[in-house]
Amino acid sequence: MTAIDRLQSTFARIATLDEAAAMLGWDAAAMMPPGGAQARGEQMATLAGLSHELLTAPALADDLAAATSPADPWAAQNLALMREAHTRATALPRDLVEASARAGSACETIWRTARAASDFAAVRPALAEVFNLARQSAEILGAALGLSPYDALMAQYQRGIRAADVAPLFADYTLFLQKALPLAEEIQNRRSHESLPPGPYAVDLQQALCARLSAAAGLNFASARLDRSAHPFCGGTPTDIRITTRYDESDPLSAITGVLHETGHGLYEQNLPAAWRRQPVGQAAGMAVHESQSLIIEMQAVRADEFLAHLAPVLAKAFHKPITQGALAHRLRHVARSFIRVEADELTYPAHVLLRFRLEQALLSGALPVADLPEAWNEGFHALLGITPPDDAQGCLQDIHWYDGAIGYFPSYTLGAMAAAQLFAAARKALPALGAHLAAGDLSPLVSWLAQHVHSQASSLGFNELLLATTGEKLNPAAFQAHLESRYLTQ
């Protein structure tokens, strides 16, 4: 075996360990009884330690030193990503890796109860430890990679994106929102609207419809399943996609849009190139790219007028209720200053991300003590949207991310929304009949276009390089603002 062969074999083993961790993570969220939490934390820590051991083995370092860059661009990129992963891993001691995995698992378990009780004090010590360990890791990684500590964490989720890139985009959006939000509210208030018929909407009917719509969008359920969890997510592996959601008997659209959002993630994973499976270059290009794939389905396509015209009679038949396109449009495109990120409309959603982007930097640096998070959250939220959360369950306890150690992740949501708008505009131009297909409930032309231009590229290209190749320019938030103006600010 050549050095490259040995490297590919080792990274395939690492990817397999990561797949096992992903399945255990899904199980913890969807199936595991509370009594399994401590053992699960040890299992996750052990898998993280084993991956770290493989990445830092002297033999792997020798092979990286001996390997020469292949002529094939995919193989060359694969080697470059291997070297980057090795640099990250060798910078961090194994005991810190395992302690971080253990702390995140323990904190997430406490968070579930704390959120339900709106009891930040209950989870505060565990969250402080998560940030303490994250700070140590970030400082070590930043020094090794030549990045700031926060940028070093951001790079785990989206290569090539820095806080300095994000901050001006978010500052511009803050100014846009200050003008756009009151105007959108004014326009909305002048319009008459229809409402969804009152519930109940039976959970079993919702679940069957969610699965049906997800399959119709293209997700292969021979290699996927749909379950329930406290927080909707898409996990698993490319050949074993695990989608979860939560159901509300008074409002079926929360679950439906949530599942279609996660379906976008699942489609990306299922359409990654099989020839490069379990290799770094064969994995998704980052979480901002991943989020663009969920949002182009959920926000750009499913909430478009054409698709809503198709969806209304489908829902009316499924629930035996007089559900109209106008009612769907009002429910799914209603602008409101609200507290919960995952339920926010697409105009105000970026404000939720802006707040988290600012707070997590302050928490990581130590400028904001964890004990002061609820107050800082409420003040920051009021400054952005003019309302104050009534309790911590609707404030700083609502998201799982910080509590399981995902720090630096949140910017990907809004970068993904901006990229989704840019990609959808390009798709409409490339597919003149796309509107007619959406009106027939047919997402296949869009998904096929995405599979060709985004999914199949995996990590062969970075975030901006992928957008440039597909749309003709790097990330340009003008497409997102134009989309919002067309949908919400048209008189």
Mean pLDDT in residue range 245-250: 94
- Summarised one tens digit per residue, pLDDT across range 180-218 is 999 999 999 998 889 999 999 999 999 999 999 999 999
User: Tell me, what's the pLDDT at 13?
Assistant: 97
Mean pLDDT in residue range 334-341: 95
Cα–Cα distance for residue pair 465/247, rounded to 1 Å = 38
Cα–Cα distance for residue pair 199/36, rounded to 1 Å = 36
Which residues are marked as active site?
262
Asked which of 161-170, 224-233, 328-337, 359-368 is least confident by mean pLDDT, the reply is 224-233
pLDDT tops 80 at residue 29:
yes
User: Tell me, what's the pLDDT at 457?
Assistant: 98
User: Tell me, what's the pLDDT at 189?
Assistant: 93
pLDDT tops 80 at residue 429:
yes
Residue 455: CB partners within 8 Å, gap ≥ 6? 267, 268, 271, 272, 293
Cα–Cα distance for residue pair 340/360, rounded to 1 Å = 17
pLDDT tops 80 at residue 231:
no
Residue 210: CB partners within 8 Å, gap ≥ 6? 226, 245, 255, 256, 259
- Summarised one tens digit per residue, pLDDT across range 129-171 is 999 999 999 999 999 999 999 999 999 999 989 999 999 999 9
Main-chain phi, psi angles of 244, to 5 degrees: -130, 160
**Looking at this protein, which amino acid is placed at residue 359?**
L
pLDDT tops 80 at residue 26:
yes
pLDDT tops 80 at residue 302:
yes
Answer yes or no: are the C-beta atoms of 29 and 229 closer than 8 Å. Answer: yes
Mean pLDDT in residue range 223-245: 93
- Summarised one tens digit per residue, pLDDT across range 57-74 is 999 999 999 999 999 999
Q: Which of 267, 262, 261, 258 is nearest to 206 (CA)?
A: 258
User: Tell me, what's the pLDDT at 91?
Assistant: 94
Q: Considering the entire predicted model, what is its pTM?
A: 0.93
- Summarised one tens digit per residue, pLDDT across range 251-299 is 999 999 999 999 999 999 999 999 999 999 999 999 999 999 999 999 9
Mean pLDDT in residue range 408-431: 97
If pLDDT is split at 50, 70 and 90, which confidence band does 333 have?
A: very high
What are the C-alpha distances in Å from 338 to residues 45, 244, 484?
37, 23, 18
